[in-house]
Amino acid sequence: MQSSPLLLEEPIRMASILEPSKPSFFPAMTKIIGTLGSESRSVDIITRCLHAGMSVARFDFSWGDPKYHQETLENLRAAIKSSNKLCAVMLDTVGPELQVVNTTDRPITLEEDTFLVLTPDQTKEATSNLLPVNFSGLAKDVKKGDTIFIGKYLFTGSETTSVWLEVNEVDGEDVSCLIKNSATLSGSLYTLHVSQIRIDLPTLTDKDKEVIRTWGVKNKIDFLALYTRHAEDVRHAREFISTFEGLKQTHIFAKIENIEGLNHFDEILREADGVIISRGNLGIDLPPEKVFLFQKAAIYKCNMAGKPVVVTRVVDSMTNNLRPTRAEATDVANAVLDGSDAILLGAETLTGLYPVETISIVGKICAEAEKVYNQDLYFKKTVKHVGEPMSHLESIASSAVRAAIKVKASVIICFTSSGRAARLLAKYRPTMPVISVVIPQLKTNQLRWTFTGAFQARQSLIVRGLFPMLADPRHPAEFNSGTNESILKAALDHGKAFGIIKPHDRIVICQKVGDSSVVKIIELDD
């Protein structure tokens, strides 16, 4: 059974089933991204989400104005301060998203086997047989027989809250469709998705650019989530955000949502800093039986490239229920066993009734899956994929992880300025946490001096197994042995305070001294 991503030795398997889950400072090595909104924007709820295991907060601009999201972000900052837990910020752009506009806010009931007209005339009122859309080119892009899906906050998959349409006829700018299932749409906005059809809209809309230019720059966002169809989309977005001083270090995560993004995945991966497998739209564009295959292939490619990969839409039922379904719990575990860095929760925390419980349960499932993750098999595959000769940094990272596993180290401590060394360690999926000690660097723009490091610390919060701490900025990046020892002591004290480092533990340290990279093993005394 050596080819399995799961450890199947009997004692491990049975013990992990029968033992109760144990609480820990690190709920899981796999990170959890929570979308903040109507049910999760108070300081109290956000604080509880942080304690439950959320390490990245996502702000979805598909709905809500900048003022609303700014208020939520201020609450997040207050929660971070009171909980003493780091949390990164992700701005999720709208992109070429088509929406149905219901100015009445009244629920709309759609009956199976009746006809519905989609019109770009937004002055018309939404009814059971007519829905206004925010795009005038729909009639040009679709033809008879095409499939259209409409649902609120992407698609829940529930046949009572989302509707499946088949294009029957195009009449001028209007599109007449046959309703394939009865459903009730509620609220003011619903997303519209045309299966396997390219919609002629820019990846970064004017609205997206304005949000980035104002809200994004003001708040120095850590991550930009970008609807991506081609590598050029990422290059264009990077060129745009690099014109703003506060966003030059922002990482771009490509959201793969349709067939077009799938077909250009390899080029997109080379350009992006990370990937989000958006299974909501992707699960509609792809036949259902193919979704798992793309998930596994895409995660493997991200793993081998050493770039973080995020999976979405895992526990939809927890939007309204306190427990996930058995299938959903298994899906979360399989995402971890496939190699996911993070799980993204959307409606589950945005509008869900149980945001804190959802984060907690997903974290517990991830932790259990990590216990039986076949790291040895993964390590060998990664080393083989990298090949020889290895780069200097790859060699150091793989050696440090191998040493940590061989001596059963409790943690790996990595000193880094850019965060690259820590991410390379995480690429080899060590079984123990990596404390990434970010050494700030002093920089100037000729007008003032600033310290960098906060970005790098927060951006590791989306990478599996990385747990950052920011070193004292008085220590230079190229530190000598004296400052080295004081920073190491601070890192060890940090680990001890949270219960992951105990007396007599072995610790692997990865650091740069001058022009040399060093891996060393220390054993703690009492």
Q: Tell me the three state secondary structure of residue 16.
A: helix
pTM higher than 0.85: yes
| 184-209: pLDDT as tens digits | 887 666 788 887 777 778 889 999 99
| 21-58: pLDDT as tens digits | 665 556 799 999 999 998 899 999 999 999 999 999 99
Contacts of 406 (CB under 8 A, 6+ apart): none
Residue 80 has pLDDT above 90, yes or no: yes
341 against 94, higher pLDDT: 341
CATH code 2.40.33.10 region(s) in the chain: 98-195
Q: What is the CATH number of domain 98-195?
A: 2.40.33.10
For the segment 310-317, the average pLDDT, to the nearest whole number, is 93
Distances from the Cα of 399 to the Cαs of 374, 417, 435, in angstroms? 18, 20, 17
| 106-132: pLDDT as tens digits | 889 999 999 999 999 999 999 999 999
* CB-CB contact of 346 with 60 (8 Å): yes
For the segment 440-460, the average pLDDT, to the nearest whole number, is 75
CATH code 3.20.20.60 region(s) in the chain: 24-95+203-371
What confidence score (pLDDT) does residue 105 get? 75
**Residue 1 — very low, low, confident or very high, per pLDDT cuts 50/70/90?**
very low
The mean predicted confidence, pLDDT, of the chain is 88
Q: What percent of the chain has pLDDT over 70?
A: 88
Residue 317 has pLDDT above 80, yes or no: yes
CATH architecture of the domain covering 24-95+203-371: Alpha-Beta Barrel (3.20)
Q: What is the CATH number of domain 375-524?
A: 3.40.1380.20
Nearest to 368 by CA among 33, 18, 51: 18
* CB-CB contact of 270 with 231 (8 Å): yes
Candidate from 39-48, 395-404, 496-505 with smallest mean pLDDT = 496-505
CA distance 392 to 510: 13
CATH code 3.40.1380.20 region(s) in the chain: 375-524
CA distance 40 to 354: 9
**Residue 413 — very low, low, confident or very high, per pLDDT cuts 50/70/90?**
very high
